[in-house]
Amino acid sequence: MSQKFDVVVIGAGPGGYVAAIKAAQLGLSTACIEKYTDKEGKLALGGTCLNVGCIPSKALLDSSWKYHEAKDAFAIHGITTGDVNMDVPAMVGRKANIVKNLTSGVATLFKANGVTSLQGHGKLLAGKRVELTKPDGSVEIIEAENVILASGSRPIDIPPAPVDNNVIVDSTGALEFQTVPKRLGVIGAGVIGLELGSVWSRLGAQVTVLEALDTFLMAADTAVSKEAYKTLTKQGLDIKLGARVTGSKVNGDEVVVTYTDANGEQTITFDKLIVAVGRRPVTTELLAADSGVTIDERGFVFVDDHCATSVPGVYAIGDVVRGMMLAHKASEEGIMVVERIKGHKTEMNYDLIPSVIYTHPEIAWVGKTEQALKAEGVEVNVGTFPFAASGRAMAANDTGGFVKVIADAKTDRVLGVHVIGPSAAELVQQGAIGMEFGTSAEDLGMMVFSHPTLSEALHEAALAVNGGAIHVANRKKR
């Protein structure tokens, strides 16, 4: 007799495991299927985010930044360190321990909340039945009242630079280097490419980033992207825009990459090459031909505004559906779907999903950019405040970047908060909270911010929107 559940979730990433836990908390019998295993061959929950994405990359970013500070930035504080060395295997080992703790933590949460964890490959059949192919090859059919597809995404492969997991690697392989490559190439100047390039650049690699687009960080506000390009270039990243990779040839322990730019065909040699051109949804073998669920030509599952597919009772969330591929977007979609299964009218505000790049300085934003608003014909007032004028940033010797607040010129409602600088992710989240409740720039300006804090930069930028900043000269009204 097959097992039957109120909710079956396929995928235990940040969307799937959160949905499963929430469903169990709401009294629904819940199972979550996951096939990913760690190096020891054990089931590893948490998906890309916990295992080979968000968490491990941040661990390496923090370790490499601490190395940089100890090597180059402590002297200004009066701290003498002598020779500073990096034990790369120890750094990577620390990352692995963090990942193990978090993934095992998800397993503990499943047990505490009554979620049934099933190991294997899940495939949706007709009639909301799920085929579970176990590690030993045996197959079980599971009955479900509701199914949530949360199978995530994987790195995109490109023919000009096929990954060999040795000299040419994807983002997963770039987390496992045991030595610092002398010459490192990165294809793609997106979030992943800039973060991983920053890690190894801080540790001494000569990093070249090849970006096919002529515009740097197109999704970011123009002022932020210009500041980011200037800062990251100054840090040592050689970012080549308009550089389209056309081929690569591995010669022993190095790779020769061919690319074209405004000057024609170019070649460059690297010891390691990271392919970071984006991610694609994992929907291969996820749906039986008669499942009734439809996908587009790129492999994304078609869903409505509430993540419902074309089949009643079947939902899809996270990287397999439209929108940004972000862990926090997937998690909130999972919660929304489960609450709607329970009959609640939960909505999700897709206009206020923050984006963050964890370089140093951090880059983060929420809402719309100034260029997008102007293209829509919206008149705006803009306020900015540089961290160079922040007492807290000065005390921390971290004064690069600024906060930018954009408000509707007629209503004063905040439409966008954009930050490049220390704790950008945290400051943008403060902006997102206010924007969720329809805050105006005046509202933010009237709030009391503790002193001295980096948050005061958001306060001052909001004041500057209407020409009332205290600690920086205000722009003259036209």
Phi, psi of 244 (to 5 degrees): -95, 120
d(CA 87, CA 433): 40
First and final CA of the chain: distance in angstroms? 75
Q: Please say whether the beta carbons of 405 and 464 come within 8 A.
A: yes
Residue closest to 387 by CA, chosen among 375, 379, 377, 395:
395
Q: Please say whether the beta carbons of 319 and 337 come within 8 A.
A: no
Q: Which two tokens stand for residue 321?
A: 């559906």
Strand partners, 316: 149
| Cα angle value 197/77/64 (rounded, 5°) | 20
**Active-site annotation holds for 451:** yes
Cβ neighbors of 56 (< 8 A, separation 6 or more) are 95, 96, 98, 99, 175
| Conformation bin of residue 438: beta by default, left when phi > 0, alpha when psi is -120 to 50 | left
Q: Please say whether the beta carbons of 144 and 129 come within 8 A.
A: yes
Question: What is the radius of gyration, based on Cα positions, of the chain?
Answer: 24
Annotated catalytic residue within 68, 77, 328, 451: 451
CA distances from 339 to 8, 29, 205 (A): 15, 14, 48
Catalytic positions are: 451
